[in-house]
Structure 1
Amino acid sequence: MSEFVLQADDVAIHYGGVKAVDGVSLTLRRGEIRGLIGPNGAGKSTVIDAITGRVRLTRGKVQLGGQDVTELGPVARRMRGLSRSFQRTSIFGQMPVRRQVELASHKMGVADSGADADAVLRELDLMPMADVIAEDLGYGEQRRLDLALALVGRPSVLLLDEPMAGLSVQESHDLAKHLKALTSRWNVSVLLVEHDMDVVFGISDVVTVFELGRVIASGEPAAVRADPRVREAYLGSAA
């Protein structure tokens, strides 16, 4: 058994002469949060797409729990425990909260989808809103519902693409707290693309910095924050 729940080795995505991602290698250990930062267009979301199978690799390999999933599509990878949320919420606005989480769980083939849905809702403090129509939720609650849909079936790996986008400072803090709790209570490993530096450096165990489709720095948050190139390019000289 591999020590890593997720491995992406020498991943490259080329579009003709454009190297959107060029030789990126990433790993995730169980219960770990790895934050991905970098400017727009650096390749962060493309790496997420590559790992989830939404784009075909030019070269490289993706392993989940030590098993090669490079040739599998997004649905097959999801059924094996690799889940993903997008920058925009993917909720059903006209449907009650619990009902859509239960349906998502049922679609995953969970034997007791009701219990699975309730566990997810309790974990994300959404049980009080279980019967509320989703479009009547506040935006922060809708983002948590989107996360709930990604958590049905107890995935081992969760890939999040800017989950704090559009949230207030307090809402971002609350969502970050939930993510950190998930890694310990549910043993979920998280790959987090996020522009909120306070969130990334506050909850990540490892931070990886992208530039022009390549990794330019990676390590513990304090070491990455102190890296002169990272400080100058992304964090400001006084960071």
Structure 2
Amino acid sequence: MIEGARFGCEGVSLSLGGRQILKNVALAVRGGEMLGLIGPNGAGKTSLFEVLSGRYVPQRGEVFLNQQPLGKLDIFQRARRGVARTYQSPVVPNSLTVGEVFRAARKAYPPYMSVHDAEWAARLVGLEVSWSRLAGTLDTFDRRKLLLACLMMRRPQVLLMDEPASGLINTEIAELDLLLRKLVDEYHIAVILIEHRLELLGAIADRIVVLDLGAVIAEGDPETVFKDPKVRAAYFEGAA
């Protein structure tokens, strides 16, 4: 396992329906670091998140947290260990109020969280809506904030975020930038971020990993990675 890493994987290979999706993938992120994950459509980014979170079991390789293997733990057990995840679509229970969503999250599993924990998390992410409001009436950004607050109540060690800027306008993206850096810098969470908005990653990510056809083709600081000929050929030219 990679020395000093809080969370990551080594040698991960995954096949689905007879097609190889991931090929010997290795990456690692430390506490207080944000790792961007990019690549063209079909590169395997979301499938890698499924492996890291425990929904998919790879044919080979290992996922680790704090130098301990997680291979035998399912998605729920990993969540209890501190591996949190957000999805591209911020789906919330439409018929529940914001307060009821928080209560469900607080009571999801022991140790149960208090109302004060939920209030702290709401302030942390900047969720400024009435708790009596139906969650289904929230706009996209407030839905993302609500879901993130539910995760932050548990003080996760790792946060996997799949395109959190999707559906947001520029002012909201700027607010998201500041929030993510706060989670990394002040709370020392290890963040892995899938994002197609490269300007966002260039501004806030510490390092970038690039996937193409299920394999890692580049890794490093944003400026270096974005200039890499292999990356430009696989990602930028392919996207064009």
Q: Which residue of 1 aligns with 2:141?
A: 140
Q: Specify the code of the residue in structure 2 equivalent to 1:61.
A: E
Counterpart CA distance in 2 for 1:158 and 1:146 is 12
User: Structure 1 residue 96: deviation in Å?
Assistant: 2.2
User: Structure 1 residue 91: deviation in Å?
Assistant: 1.4
Gaps spanning 5+ residues in structure 1: where? none
Q: Does the C-alpha gap of structure 1 residues 87 and 30 become closer, same or farther in structure 2, counting only changes over 3 Å? A: same
Deviation digits for residues 31-52 of structure 1, max 9, x if unmatched?
1110100111100000000011
Matches within 5 A, 1:170-185: 170-185=171-186
Counterpart CA distance in 1 for 2:19 and 2:106 is 39
8 Å CA contact 1:209–1:218 kept in 2: the answer is yes
Counterpart CA distance in 1 for 2:128 and 2:169 is 22
Q: Which residue of 1 aligns with 2:228?
A: 227
Q: TM-score, normalised by structure 1?
A: 0.92
User: Structure 1 residue 149: deviation in Å?
Assistant: 2.4
Counterpart CA distance in 2 for 1:94 and 1:65 is 38
Worse overlay, 109-118 or 205-214: 109-118
Q: Does the C-alpha gap of structure 1 residues 111 and 149 become closer, same or farther in structure 2, counting only changes over 3 Å? A: closer
Q: Which residue of 2 aligns with 1:82?
A: 83
Deviation digits for residues 97-118 of structure 1, max 9, x if unmatched?
2331232022132344212211
8 Å CA contact 2:91–2:143 kept in 1: the answer is no
Q: Specify the code of the residue in structure 1 equivalent to 2:165.
A: M
Worse overlay, 130-139 or 46-55: 130-139
CA RMSD after TM alignment: 1.7
Q: TM-score, normalised by structure 2?
A: 0.92
Matches within 5 A, 1:111-150: 111-150=112-151
Q: How many residues align?
A: 235
Identity among equivalent positions (%) equals: 34
Q: Specify the code of the residue in structure 1 equivalent to 2:222.
A: P
* DSSP 3-state at the match of 2:40: coil
8 Å CA contact 1:7–1:62 kept in 2: the answer is yes
Q: Which residue of 1 aligns with 2:194?
A: 193
Residue 22 of structure 2 corresponds to residue 21 of structure 1? yes
User: Structure 1 residue 17: deviation in Å?
Assistant: 4.1
Gaps spanning 5+ residues in structure 2: where? none
8 Å CA contact 1:108–1:153 kept in 2: the answer is no
Matches within 5 A, 1:98-113: 98-113=99-114
* DSSP 3-state at the match of 1:61: strand
Q: Specify the code of the residue in structure 2 equivalent to 1:159.
A: L
User: Structure 1 residue 171: deviation in Å?
Assistant: 1.6
